Structure 1
């Protein structure tokens, strides 16, 4: 299946997901007495998906005591950002996170969700490089025509960044279609590259650092080269959840925002130690070694505040791709900072 057909199929699946009825709204609703015991919260728990060997900011917030009396209910690990937010749409979870471009695509499919807080991004310490072997003949974007690039999933961060790079370097739409994106689990991306089963690979965080230690690879470009410092992904809630559970929504966002700032301002060694302790306590039989390589939140806005450009950039990108019509979506109307306690400190 060529790239254009894959995008069309993805759009159809997203639309179908958006039309599915919600199967849950934040666990069981509480009685008046129960709400009083919960400090006015409408629900007692939030269902979510985690990430193997990693600690999310809501998980950190719960461990730090910021989320109480609201609790998290782990239902499994997500395989990708697009899958995580589709689970929110279908009602299988109450919140999920993904790359902002993927969220825009889901909103274009009429999904009734709202991004409420940023949860990952790009800065001097946290970024992704797109690597080739040291002796590879690939030196420019043109050299990628007819080649294969390993990414963790389609329709998310890596696909948008790669296509933006190719576009900026002057490739035509037809030439860009000849660059094949291959889904490869991130943990095997380096191995697949070194085995020459693919021609380039997206590597970030600990996987990038370990690969660089072994040598023999070089970056063709990085997402920071293209976009600078920015928040790249957000947590979303359904509009129905926000309407029915405004207090729980505020509690979730406030707690997550405080956890982000705790991680931003606490010495790195202490953050890593906390992450290791959380992973050990939850007993999911995970390898916690990767958290030793944690360097920064990467999040641009204080407490995960969302900036208009972090959505408008991808609205414009999808317009240029022909996926959206001009004026179909307005970046500044796609998200809310209403529930973030740091919003009052933000510059107009």
Structure 2
């Protein structure tokens, strides 16, 4: 009742390597309050996470976006989003991604990118999708650039060495790269999202479980949502303190840490999900009409939306 378990449950979660609300909520005791113990299972690449959730090696899928959920389902991994993660923000320490060029580069506009090499996290990643949208907004086909998959840290070095022309990297890497100098932004995700109709939605991320886990453990999912929404709102109100907790967990200098903020709503916003589906369709990542929204997400177990939890956060 009230989003709390009557018997404790150990929730298996991949060890986080970036800013994430799960270890902040654990530090604050919010998961313990609802009867959840967090067990970190080790770090894992995004490509392996969906299968680990299906196998039960992990319970929580706390990475990626609507795009990632759709790709996992297309590959046969029946996972479903039960809560939103981050949303985008134009401030440098909160923005989703920035596409950097060298300070001495002649790349100033989208048309200057034609024929150039652009780093992405992996084929089919959010880095690729949002840059493809940037090109589309400017009348350029994504086939007119060469996408090079590589990790964010490697992308900055490759940019400085001239191996690539544009580095698409997430905010913690952007902050440190800009502090080192010699690079500048070409564009960033908040601007791309704004031009597509919803700036904050350009970082809308997913918190998901396997359909089997949702079916077998509905009260655990409710408890997870209860604690996570509380954590997300706490982070929005106490961002500097959240950064300190994250820096301590990640063992990095707080001055070099970057994070994210979260939507003000307590559950999944269908319009933000549709925003991502439209991006995917417009940029030919999926066939138009092929994504069934009811398979991507559910709000059915959200105790805030059902009225089970009535207090304001």
CA distance in 2, matches of 1:319, 1:271: 36
CA distance in 1, matches of 2:247, 2:286: 43
Query: Is residue 311–residue 332 contact of structure 1 (8 Å, CA) maintained in 2?
Result: no
Q: CA 1:106 to 1:47, structure 2 compared with 1: closer, same or farther past 3 Å?
A: same
Query: Is residue 88–residue 94 contact of structure 1 (8 Å, CA) maintained in 2?
Result: yes
Q: Do structure 1's residue 251 and structure 2's residue 227 form an aligned pair?
A: no
The superposition leaves residues 255-299 of structure 1 with CA deviations (integer Å, 9 ceiling, x where unpaired) of 11111111111251x22333344x2xxxxxx6322x444465332
CA distance in 2, matches of 1:51, 1:154: 22
**Match in the other structure for 1:3:** none
Residue 55 (structure 1) shift: 4.8
- 1:302 aligns to what SS in structure 2? coil
CA distance in 2, matches of 1:317, 1:264: 27
Q: CA 1:66 to 1:324, structure 2 compared with 1: closer, same or farther past 3 Å?
A: same
Query: Is residue 49–residue 77 contact of structure 1 (8 Å, CA) maintained in 2?
Result: yes
- 2:124 aligns to what SS in structure 1? coil
CA distance in 2, matches of 1:275, 1:314: 28
**Match in the other structure for 2:237:** 265
Query: Is residue 30–residue 227 contact of structure 2 (8 Å, CA) maintained in 1?
Result: yes
Relative to the length of structure 1, the TM-score reads 0.75
CA distance in 1, matches of 2:5, 2:276: 38
**Match in the other structure for 1:313:** 275
Gaps of 5+ in 2: 194-198
Q: Which has the larger radius of gyration?
A: 1
Q: Do structure 1's residue 171 and structure 2's residue 136 form an aligned pair?
A: no
Q: CA 1:216 to 1:83, structure 2 compared with 1: closer, same or farther past 3 Å?
A: same
* Structure of greater relative contact order (alpha carbons < 8 Å, 6+ residues apart): 2
Q: 1:239 aligns with which of 211, 216, 224?
A: 211
The superposition leaves residues 8-41 of structure 1 with CA deviations (integer Å, 9 ceiling, x where unpaired) of xxxxxxxxxxxxxxxxxxxxxxxxxxxxxx9434
CA distance in 2, matches of 1:201, 1:325: 28
Residue 47 (structure 1) shift: 1.4
Q: How many residues align?
A: 292
- 2:85 aligns to what SS in structure 1? strand
Alignment of 1:1-348 (within 5 A): 39-41=5-7, 44-52=9-17, 54-68=18-32, 69-80=35-46, 82-96=47-61, 97-125=63-91, 126-127=94-95, 128-172=97-141, 176-227=142-193, 228-230=199-201, 231-266=203-238, 268=240, 270-277=241-248, 279=249, 287-289=251-253, 291-294=254-257, 297-303=260-266, 305-331=267-293, 334-343=296-305
CA RMSD of aligned residues (A): 2.5
Q: CA 1:61 to 1:142, structure 2 compared with 1: closer, same or farther past 3 Å?
A: same
Residue 199 (structure 1) shift: 0.7
Q: CA 1:190 to 1:295, structure 2 compared with 1: closer, same or farther past 3 Å?
A: closer
- 2:190 aligns to what SS in structure 1? helix
- 1:117 aligns to what SS in structure 2? strand
CA distance in 1, matches of 2:57, 2:239: 36
Query: Is residue 66–residue 273 contact of structure 2 (8 Å, CA) maintained in 1?
Result: yes
